[in-house]
């Protein structure tokens, strides 16, 4: 019964596009939301924490095609990677919604129908700049030199039949709602941006497309698929089972917090509320737009080849350190800057030095000066009450900052207490007290206060670094005292049980050698630079040629005509085909990385060009006796074939 009375807290992350693997910027959003979800659970809320994947759309349809997969096969693989990453980052989500799930599609169609039935969706024509080879509409603003921003070719002004959502109708209601609920859009700077955007006038929104298929069909017009935002945004209620009688919807909607990046604020604070108003549903209580994690050279992006893989960092530095760094590095409302040096610096300073030293000094001194038992404190002196008071204020400040989603500052407050406690140790100098038997009870009080302040810091770290507290509890000998690990236990100074037996352990965060990291970084930077040079060259239409060679050097490469007589896929290797080729005088086996572009049966009978004197190499257990020639650019690849029928074995020069 008590369960039902608990206050609920529903928090969401954006649902990520499975067009590629996620990078450290995406990890930030989810870690931040997870920290909040864990915090609210500690505060006694009945929390529902949702994340997921936004799987439809033309980009994904194309990406899948380019690698020879169906869109579903493609997203299944990438989404499995999302789930693995969240697992490694210890994300405590209660559900994971995929827009390809039936439970989601049903709700999207239901909302679309509802809006159509009440006249908020109508059929009209969408006019835009169309790139025929890319089958994509662009707005005037998106064009680059009046050409397609993707392929650079010419575009034409075309009209397409589309459904539109009457967003303009909700403009005034929306403005009123935002102004009457100053908490709705946070931080305030983003609220002001949104207000001026709405005041410039809202246009109706194109919500269906006929130019691609990978989406949810419009329920009453199967020629159309529902375009992006009605599909994506509806996840927040479809995951709660809206319309299916699921009690989760009644219990958790409206959401307490949609956490999103600043780039998708407009969708969440304008389009989504307008859809909800049109459907007669309540609006979320708060949308918080966080800043971005930037690199020195700007945005992280796959095409620039500079994305930072969170899995690599977790393996290298541990999950708690990465979570700490992410939450600490992005200040509320502003962007943060990522560099591996800054990450290592944080680990060495905040975690190894400040926190690590507090733990190791506390446990070492209790061991040495009090036989390994947490002492009983006696009378308090001014310096002790000052520490106790500082701890009380810190808890208060952290609670207030968490309410405002000021995660970075909340962690900063905890570290003020860590450092205040380290200072307390310097000021009280327990090693001096230990030399004087008359100061025994004073020493006991000081040791107790150190340990209690450490306990308080650790409890407050729990939402941000869930792996940390159990290790500290073990060292303080209180792993079985769950009642002193809770947020409630922070209300009263002195919850740490005297008599607990210390178990000194390894340092929690060993220091990292920055020099080693620099060397690795240099290697990586030169690779990125080389990749960027090649990409720039491709973009600027210059041929970034290899160094010059002589005709003698070229003639060392023995190229021969070869006929493919057999082709099959290599087991457990998506990219490889095993070919059997005829060179006239002999037959050979060759492994080629072309399986994403050619089906085995397409290759049989082709006359291709083989580098016949290449040193054999073992690939997936198969000895490959040569290499076939192919040309590739971007996501296209073509094998070199002969224009006339020349016998197998003939030399190519
Ligand atoms: N699918 C949409 C969201 C639909 S929600 C109904 C989408 N997906 S996304 O994968 O492109 O981005 C998801 C989130 O990651 C966004 O909130 C975006 O701001 C965030 N980030 C992407 N790169 C980021 C950084 N470099 N730093 C911080 N967050 C970043 O948009």
pLDDT score, position 526: 65
Is the model's pLDDT at 337 over the cut of 80? yes
Nearest to 342 by CA among 556, 152, 518: 518
Enter the DSSP assignment of 644: S
Q: Which of 79, 234, 262, 81 is nearest to 165 (CA)?
A: 234
Round to whole Å and give the CA distance between 215 and 211: 11
Question: How far apart are the C-alpha atoms of 41 and 33, rounded to whole Å?
Answer: 12
Answer yes or no: are the C-beta atoms of 395 and 490 closer than 8 Å: yes
φ/ψ of residue 397, rounded to 5: -65, -40
Tell me the pLDDT tens digit for each residue of 290-314.
999 999 888 887 777 788 999 999 9
pLDDT score for 136? 76
3-state secondary structure of 440: helix
Instruction: Quote the tokens at residue 256.
Output: 């307490």
Nearest protein Cα to ligand 1, atom 17 = 261
Confidence of residue 539 (pLDDT cuts 50, 70, 90): very low
Name the closest-CA residue to atom 10, ligand 1: 16
Give the pLDDT band of residue 613 (cuts 50, 70, 90).
Answer: very high
3-state secondary structure at position 98: strand
Please give all residues whose beta carbon lies within 6 A of any atom in ligand 1, as ranges.
14-17, 25-26, 28-29, 54, 232-233, 235, 260-261, 263-264, 292-293, 300
**Structure confidence by residue, pLDDT tens digits, 547-591:** 677 787 788 899 999 999 999 998 878 889 999 999 999 999 999
* pLDDT of 469 above 60: yes
Ligand 1: distance of its center to the CA of 301 in Å? 12
Whether pTM exceeds 0.85: no
The candidate with the shortest Cα–Cα distance to 191, out of 204, 200, 182, 203, is 182
Picking from 613, 618, 619, the residue whose alpha carbon sits closest to that of residue 583 is 613
The per-residue pLDDT for 635 is 74
pLDDT tens-digit series, residues 415-430 = 999 999 999 999 999 9
**Measured from the CA of 291, which atom of ligand 1 is nearest?**
28
pLDDT, averaged across the chain: 92
Ligand 1 atom at minimal distance to the Cα of residue 299: 26
Q: Which atom of ligand 1 is nearest to the CA of 262?
A: 19
Pocket test for ligand 1, best of 26, 108, 232, 295 (most atoms within 8 A of CB): 26
Q: Considering the chain, what percentage of its residues have pLDDT values greater than 90? A: 77
The answer to whether the bond into 254 is cis (omega within 30° of 0) is: yes
β-pair type (559-569, 607-611): antiparallel
The atom of ligand 1 lying closest to the CA of 14 is 5
Ligand 1 mean position to 261 CA, how many Å?
6
Residue from 16, 291, 297 to probe ligand 1 pocket by mutation (most atoms less than 8 Å from CB): 16
pLDDT of res. 324: 98
CB atoms within 10 A of CB 247: 9
Q: How do 221-226 and 559-569 pair as beta strands? A: unpaired
DSSP letter at 57?
S
Question: Is 50 exceeded by the pLDDT of residue 1?
Answer: no
> Residues 121-180: pLDDT tens digits?
999 998 889 887 776 778 888 898 899 888 888 999 988 899 999 999 999 999 999 999
Report pLDDT for 623: 87
User: For residue 20, what are the contacts with CB-CB under 8 A and spacing of at least 6?
Assistant: 78, 302
The pLDDT tens digits of the residues spanning 91-138 come to 999 999 999 999 999 999 999 999 999 999 999 998 889 887 776 778
Cβ contact 592:603 at 8 Å: no
User: Do the beta carbons of residue 115 and residue 121 sit within 8 Å?
Assistant: yes
SS3 state of residue 16: strand
Q: Is a pLDDT exceeding 60 seen at residue 541?
A: no
> In percent, how much of the chain has pLDDT > 70?
94
Beta bridge partners of 259: 288
Helices H, strands E: what count in the chain? Answer: 24, 25
Predicted pLDDT at 386: 98
| Nearest atom of ligand 1 to the alpha carbon of 294 | 26
Rounded to the nearest 10 degrees, the angle between the axes of helix 319-329 and helix 310-317 is 120
CB atoms closer than 10 angstroms to residue 92: 16
**In this structure, how many other beta carbons lie within 10 angstroms of the beta carbon of residue 465?**
25
In sequence order, which residues have a C-beta less than 8 Å from that of residue 127 and are 6 or more positions away? 157, 158, 159, 160
The alpha carbon of 335 and the centre of ligand 1 are apart by a number of angstroms equal to: 14
Nearest CA to ligand 1 atom 24: 25
Protein residue with least CA distance to atom 6, ligand 1: 233
């Amino acid at each position: 019964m008590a369960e039902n009375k608990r206050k609920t807290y529903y928090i969401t992350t954006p649902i990520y596009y499975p067009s590629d693997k996620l990078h450290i910027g995406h990890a930030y959003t989810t870690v931040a939301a997870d920290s909040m979800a864990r915090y609210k659970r500690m505060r006694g809320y009945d929390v529902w924490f949702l994340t997921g994947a936004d799987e439809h759309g033309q980009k994904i349809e194309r990406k899948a095609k380019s690698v020879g997969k169906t869109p579903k096969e493609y997203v299944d693989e990438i989404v499995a990677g999302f789930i693995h990453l969240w697992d490694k980052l210890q994300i405590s989500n209660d559900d994971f919604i995929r827009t390809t799930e039936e439970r989601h599609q049903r709700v999207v169609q239901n909302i679309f129908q509802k809006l159509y039935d009440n006249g908020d969706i109508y059929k009209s024509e969408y006019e835009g700049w169309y790139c025929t080879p890319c089958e994509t509409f662009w707005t005037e603003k998106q064009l680059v030199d009046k050409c397609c921003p993707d392929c650079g070719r010419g575009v034409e002004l075309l009209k397409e039949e589309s459904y539109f959502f009457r967003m303009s109708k909700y403009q005034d209601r929306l403005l009123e709602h935002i102004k009457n609920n100053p908490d709705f859009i946070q931080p305030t700077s983003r609220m002001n941006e949104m207000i001026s955007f709405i005041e410039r006038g809202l246009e109706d929104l194109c919500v269906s497309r006929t130019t691609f298929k990978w989406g949810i069909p419009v329920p009453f017009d199967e020629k159309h698929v529902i375009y992006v935002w009605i599909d994506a945004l509806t996840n927040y209620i479809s995951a709660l089972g809206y319309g299916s009688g699921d009690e989760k919807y009644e219990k958790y909607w409206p959401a307490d917090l949609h956490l999103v990046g600043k780039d998708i604020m407009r969708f969440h604070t304008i389009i989504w509320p307008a859809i909800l108003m049109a459907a007669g549903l309540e609006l979320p209580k708060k949308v918080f737009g966080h800043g971005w994690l930037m690199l020195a050279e700007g945005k992280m992006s796959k095409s620039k080849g500079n994305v930072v893989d969170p899995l690599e960092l977790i393996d290298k530095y541990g999950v708690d350190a990465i979570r700490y760094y992410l939450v600490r590095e992005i200040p509320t409302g502003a962007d943060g800057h990522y560099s591996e040096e800054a990450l290592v610096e944080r680990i060495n300073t905040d975690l190894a030095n400040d926190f690590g030293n507090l733990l190791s000094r506390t446990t070492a001194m209790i061991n040495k000066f009090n036989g390994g038992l947490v002492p009983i404190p006696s009378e308090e002196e001014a310096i002790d009450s000052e520490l106790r008071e500082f701890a009380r204020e810190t808890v208060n400040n952290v609670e207030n900052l968490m309410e405002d989603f000021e995660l970075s500052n909340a962690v900063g407050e905890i570290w003020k207490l860590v450092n205040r406690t380290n200072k307390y140790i310097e000021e009280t100098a327990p090693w001096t007290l230990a030399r004087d038997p008359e100061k025994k009870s004073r020493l006991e009080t000081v040791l107790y206060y150190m340990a209690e302040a450490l306990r308080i810091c650790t409890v407050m770290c729990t939402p941000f670094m869930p792996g940390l507290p159990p290790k500290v509890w073990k060292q303080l000998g209180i792993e079985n005292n769950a009642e002193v690990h809770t947020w409630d236990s922070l209300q009263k100074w002195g919850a740490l049980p005297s008599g607990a037996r210390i178990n000194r352990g390894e340092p929690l965060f060993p220091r990292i050698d920055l020099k080693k990291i620099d060397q690795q970084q240099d290697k990586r930077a030169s690779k990125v630079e080389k990749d960027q040079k090649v990409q720039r060259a491709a973009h600027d239409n210059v041929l970034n040629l290899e160094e010059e060679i002589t005709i003698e050097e070229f003639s060392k490469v023995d190229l021969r005509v070869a006929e493919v007589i057999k082709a099959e896929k290599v087991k457990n290797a998506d990219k490889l085909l095993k070919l059997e080729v005829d060179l006239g005088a002999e037959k050979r086996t060759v492994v080629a990385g072309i399986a994403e572009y050619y089906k085995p049966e397409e290759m049989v009978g082709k006359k291709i060009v083989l580098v016949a004197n290449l040193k054999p190499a073992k690939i997936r257990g198969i000895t490959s006796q040569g290499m076939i020639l192919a040309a590739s650019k971007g996501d296209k690849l073509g094998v070199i074939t002969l224009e006339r029928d020349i016998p197998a074995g003939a030399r190519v020069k």
